[in-house]
Amino acid sequence: MNRFYPHPVIALEGWPFIIAGLIVSLLLSFCCGWWSLPFWLFTLFAVQFFRDPARDIPQDPDAVLCPADGRIVVVERATDPFRQTEALKISVFMNVFNVHSQRAPVDGTVTRVEYFRGKFLNAALDKASTENERNAVLATTRSGRDITFVQVAGLVARRVLCYVQAGEPIVRGERYGFIRFGSRVDVYLPLDAQATVSIGDKVKASETILARLPLTAPAAETPAAPASAPAATTAAMPAEATAAQTDEQQIVLAAAERAQAAAETVMKQE
């Protein structure tokens, strides 16, 4: 297990909210007393929302780690809309009380990053994957397997942040993005990946293993040998039958010619 995590315990994205909440809370405490309580609650909420703790990171070569804290809402075969291929889809829904930093699920290289503007539907809905604002990271593992992981904005989330670009290396467990205030992350894996989670499971970023992905793709099936020999045999059978019929006809004609010749001989003798 590796616990190295070069980021502060409170994500930098949260400091503006925390500092603003703290200042307002202090000012209202001096001026209004207990009326400042809602602002103190907001400040505490911001601290817990933007927490970004270090985690134990499994180093199994075939492990695909969970990119976010939350609950599993989808484990199914689906079409990867960014690669247009069949894939194993696993989705993690984050509520406002989960850690909202996203972490790389594998070691590899980013091949493409695509951002799409969209709606802000409830992130727990299936159609949020295709209709909501989202940011897709397409990556290739060190062993050459292609995976896709997508940040999807939610009903409250209005900002998707991604810090990686095409061509950059990623290391499992490192932070690559952040989504503010409730969202989901979709992961698309090759079909030979084996899911290790089920719908309803609570998961933690970098600690939970979502799936096992073989280091190499399965060998393509050897195509069946063309059935040329049977076809040739089948084609030869009518030819042989035709030849046999021709021989019989020749024998019958020869016999008829001999009988005719014998009849003519008898008539001449008479």
- 121, amino acid identity: L
Whether the Cβ atoms of residue 204 and residue 66 lie closer than 8 Å to each other: yes
Q: Provide the token pair at 24.
A: 């307002």
| Tokens linked to 187 | 């992961």
Distances (CA, A) of 210 to 16, 48, 88, 106, 226: 33, 25, 11, 11, 42
Tokens of 150: 């997508």
Please give the Cα distance from 190 to 214 (Å, whole number). Answer: 9
Q: Which of 183, 198, 206, 228 is catalytic?
A: 183
Sign of CA dihedral 155, 161, 164, 165: positive
Assigned token pair, 37: 């309580």
Q: Which amino acid is at 154?
A: G
Q: Nearest to residue 103, comparing CAs of 179, 186, 176?
A: 176
Contact (CB, 8 A) for 218 and 72 = no
Q: Is 198 in the active site?
A: no
Identity at 53, one-letter amino acid code? P
Residues carrying an active site annotation = 183
